[in-house]
């Protein structure tokens, strides 16, 4: 072989070897690149993580639970102009290409030459199908390998799914800013409406966002956002998808969005919604945050708002009784005061409160300037006097004020240091109709309704009296209200005292409960036995376990407002313990029920109606006391309102019962009250359990909150009486119609000590027709001193 031919042969072998080596290397690279290629068929049944939406019983949206805030919308429910807006902005040839748009990619590359020269952002040229492949199946790494995978997967997706399915995935998966994944959540978060209600301009704005939501933020970069939106509208007009006249009209629209994305427009149920979230996670786990469930709760928005308003007002009134604690901030110089004021926010529930600077204090006149708009005016004179009685006011103080309607004056406001809770439960089903766990969720999300363990004080006494009635006592049984000393723990004496330090002698059970007599209750607990009282408290759900010591009879054990309120439901519903629940129903995205709060069986409820008698469902809950006992306690607690420690609730002018509670040193104040329709419990106390102050009893601090709540809540309800059991026997005792178990109604009865009679007497002699017959006393009785707490003698 001649030398030139030899070199040609060598060169040829070398080239072929290089090609073979390159091919081998390419094969290895391809094998490595595609060994973990996702399967496009995985997307046939794919659904992105979707928010679970919680609704009140009347259909009001109250909350969402999700890792990614998304409302999944089927393609058929997406308006055509919204689809067209995204196609115009992102992939105008979507319905004609096979996954990769060569023409579009070429056009993007040519534009990028000019973009690079002018320092503008480069265009990617990815189709919607490629974006779905990247968003759902791949990572966002900017490598050649990922782009190759994206292109291949796009082709496979086009073979697996039809165009509408791909668009549905894209429009529900894409990140659009403002805490929004997908067009459904974006429409709600930006504009507060469903996608079916979006205007052309609003649809175009959403379509402008995939290129970078922060670049077109509607508040921080509004001008750029409008320019990009109008470009999308022009593209739609150029493609003939909207008329030029409609396009020009849409471009003239202002860009108006909500100031911040909200999970629900109804904002009075934050404590309730958070409790639903906690219980939902305990029941369903992380599925709650990604399953896209429909959740119907027990909340009644009308009652919830009434509860929130009543509790906040009551806590503010308590706080005002205890004086002005001083300004929450102070500045020495007026310059820059607004920046300091922004560091402190009023409760979000008090939308009318404003941060203000005290600019002048002279005589009885105090003037303020508002943060933000610079408005100014004077604080009303009564609030100036209130502040001066406390820590006072001085120039430079930062305070909260509320404008007085119709004038340039302001009320001085103070965030209460005290806190509390209010729970309302439907007594027959256990549905939690309202729950407020504190003064303001924006200031503290600790739920005092369900998480604060506190002593209930005298609010526990109805359980003691119910145990007595279950074990041979009647409402007319007599127990001594007199001083008693018992040997306590460690050998020390324990002498329980009545609130007013007085003793009234022999009292019926009814009167003892109405007046909340401590010494009498301890004597009663001795007679009944603490084991029986403890067992009943556990059965009713007040506590999980209770020490069998007499102090517990006065409410020394700890419980929550939620538990105690639910326990009182048994008095109203005939003696059954119902489980309080907040979640009524949970359904998956296919409409299948996966959770139901009502656990009762109803075999015929789903059958077609054929004219037969309607199905009868057994009452909910376990029977924990005799229905007559429950009615007796209900009647006795009505007496607490009519003649006892809660007479201020008489203003409701309807059948109502309840029991006050006050713990040692006035640390907690309670009232659990009820009508035939609802049981509502109110708790007031400091989070650190310090004293509320002298005289801050359940009567003073808690009953007014219950009354304000019920005045609003009960407006549409009929004034029905509590229903007595059919087998109850009745007798009039001291003018009061009492219920008895058959065979226990009075026939021979011990006369009262002041009747002039002694020993057992015939019922007709002592109380004929309910009127006490007493001979004239030998000498006039000494006048009794009025009871400062009850107003009674």
Which residues are designated catalytic? Answer: 90, 458
User: What is the distance between the alpha carbons of residues 346 and 420, in angstroms, rounded to a whole number?
Assistant: 18
Three-state secondary-structure class, residue 113:
helix
CB 642 within 8 A of CB 625: no
User: What is the distance between the alpha carbons of residues 462 and 476, in angstroms, rounded to a whole number?
Assistant: 15
| Start-to-end Cα distance in the chain | 137
User: What is the distance between the alpha carbons of residues 793 and 786, in angstroms, rounded to a whole number?
Assistant: 5
User: What is the distance between the alpha carbons of residues 651 and 589, in angstroms, rounded to a whole number?
Assistant: 48
User: What is the distance between the alpha carbons of residues 698 and 683, in angstroms, rounded to a whole number?
Assistant: 8
Cβ-based neighbours of 476, under 8 Å, separated by 6 or more: 508, 509, 510, 733, 738, 746, 749
Phi, psi of 154 (to 5 degrees): -60, -45
What angle in degrees, to the nearest 10, is found between the helix axes of 561-572 and 461-469? 30
660-695: b or e for each residue (b if 16 or more CB lie within 10 Å)?
Answer: bbbbeebbbbbbbbbbbbbbbbbbbbeeeeeebeee
Inter-CA distances, 781 with 227, 417, 784, Å: 93, 48, 9
Sort strands 729-733 and 486-487 into parallel, antiparallel or unpaired: unpaired
User: What is the distance between the alpha carbons of residues 245 and 229, in angstroms, rounded to a whole number?
Assistant: 16
Q: What is the DSSP letter of 431?
A: B
Cβ-based neighbours of 13, under 8 Å, separated by 6 or more: none
The answer for 742, left when phi > 0, alpha when psi is -120 to 50, beta otherwise, is beta
Q: Where are the beta strands (DSSP E) in 616-685?
A: 622-623, 657-662, 668-674, 679-685
CB 167 within 8 A of CB 207: no
Cβ-based neighbours of 771, under 8 Å, separated by 6 or more: 735
The distance from CA 535 to its chain's CA centroid, rounded to whole angstroms, is: 32
How many C-beta atoms surround the C-beta of residue 414 within 10 A?
20
């Amino acid at each position: 072989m001649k030398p030139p031919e030899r070199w040609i042969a060598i060169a040829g072998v070398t080239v072929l070897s290089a090609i073979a080596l390159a091919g081998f290397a390419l094969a290895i690279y391809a094998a490595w690149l595609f060994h973990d290629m996702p399967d496009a068929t995985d997307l046939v049944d794919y659904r992105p993580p979707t928010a679970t939406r919680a609704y009140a019983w009347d259909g009001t949206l109250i909350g969402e639970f999700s890792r990614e805030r998304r409302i999944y919308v089927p393609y058929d429910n997406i308006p055509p102009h919204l689809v067209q807006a995204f196609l115009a902005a992102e992939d105008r040839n979507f319905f004609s290409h096979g996954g990769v748009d060569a023409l579009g990619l070429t056009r993007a590359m040519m534009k990028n030459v000019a973009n690079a020269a002018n320092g503008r952002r480069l265009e990617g040229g990815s189709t919607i199908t490629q974006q779905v492949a990247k968003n759902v199946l791949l990572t966002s790494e900017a490598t050649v390998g990922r782009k190759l995978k994206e292109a291949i997967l796009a082709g496979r997706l086009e073979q697996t799914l039809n165009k509408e399915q791909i668009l549905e995935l894209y429009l529900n998966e894409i990140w659009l800013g403002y805490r929004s994944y997908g067009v459904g959540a974006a429409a709600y978060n930006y504009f507060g409406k469903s996608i079916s209600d979006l205007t052309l301009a609003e649809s175009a704005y959403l379509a402008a966002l995939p290129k970078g939501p922060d670049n077109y933020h509607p508040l921080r970069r509004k001008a750029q956002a409008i320019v990009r939106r109008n470009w999308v509208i022009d593209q739609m007009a150029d493609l003939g998808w909207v008329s030029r006249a409609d396009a020009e009209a849409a471009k003239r629209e202002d860009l108006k969005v909500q100031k911040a994305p909200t999970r629900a427009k109804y904002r009075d149920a934050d404590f309730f919604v958070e409790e639903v979230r906690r219980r939902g996670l305990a029941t369903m786990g992380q599925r709650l945050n990604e399953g896209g469930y429909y959740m119907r709760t027990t909340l009644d928005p009308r009652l919830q708002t009434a509860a929130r308003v009543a509790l906040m007002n009551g806590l503010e009134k308590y706080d005002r009784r205890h004086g002005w604690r001083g300004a929450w901030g102070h500045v020495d110089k007026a310059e820059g005061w607004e920046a300091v004021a922004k560091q402190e926010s009023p409760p979000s529930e008090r939308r009318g409160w404003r941060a203000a600077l005290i600019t002048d204090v002279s005589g009885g006149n105090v003037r303020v300037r508002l943060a933000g708009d610079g408005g100014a005016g004077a604080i009303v004179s009564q609030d100036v006097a209130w502040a001066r009685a406390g820590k006072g006011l001085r120039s430079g103080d930062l305070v909260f004020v509320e404008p007085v309607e119709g004038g340039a004056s302001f009320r001085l406001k103070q965030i209460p240091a005290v806190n509390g809770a209010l729970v309302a439960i439907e007594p027959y089903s256990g549905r939690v109709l309202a729950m407020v766990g504190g003064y303001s969720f924006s200031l503290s999300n600790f739920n005092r309704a369900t998480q604060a363990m506190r002593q209930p004080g005298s609010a526990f006494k109805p359980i003691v009296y119910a145990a007595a009635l279950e074990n041979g006592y009647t409402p007319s049984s007599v127990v001594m209200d007199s001083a008693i000393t018992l040997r306590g723990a460690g050998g020390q004496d324990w002498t329980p005292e009545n609130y007013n330090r007085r003793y009234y002698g022999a009292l019926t059970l009814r009167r003892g409960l109405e007046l909340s007599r401590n010494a009498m209750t301890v004597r009663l607990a001795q007679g009944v036995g603490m084991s029986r009282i403890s067992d009943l408290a556990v059965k009713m759900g007040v506590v999980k376990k209770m020490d069998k010591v007499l102090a517990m009879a006065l409410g020394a054990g700890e419980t929550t407002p939620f538990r105690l309120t639910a326990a009182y439901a048994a008095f109203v519903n005939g003696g059954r313990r119902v489980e309080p629940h907040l979640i009524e129903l949970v359904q998956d995205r296919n409409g299948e029920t996966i959770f139901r709060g009502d656990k009762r069986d109803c075999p015929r409820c789903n059958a077609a109606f054929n004219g037969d008698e309607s199905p009868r469902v057994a009452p909910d809950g376990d029977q924990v006391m005799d229905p007559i006992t429950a009615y007796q306690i209900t009647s006795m607690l009505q007496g607490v309102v009519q003649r006892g420690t809660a007479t201020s609730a008489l203003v409701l002018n309807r059948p109502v019962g309840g029991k006050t509670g006050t713990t040692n040193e006035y640390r907690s104040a309670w009232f659990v009250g009820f009508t035939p329709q609802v049981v509502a419990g109110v708790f007031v106390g400091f989070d650190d359990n310090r004293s509320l102050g002298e005289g801050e009893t359940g009567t003073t601090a808690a009953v007014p909150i219950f009354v304000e709540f019920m005045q609003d809540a009960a407006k549409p309800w009929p004034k029905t009486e509590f229903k007595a059991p059919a087998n109850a026997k009745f007798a009039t005792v001291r003018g009061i119609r009492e219920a008895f178990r058959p065979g226990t109604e009075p026939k021979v009865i011990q006369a009262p000590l002041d009747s002039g009679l002694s020993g057992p007497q015939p019922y007709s002699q002592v109380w004929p027709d309910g009127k006490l017959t007493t001979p004239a006393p030998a000498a006039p009785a000494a006048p009794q001193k009025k009871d400062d707490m009850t107003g009674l003698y």
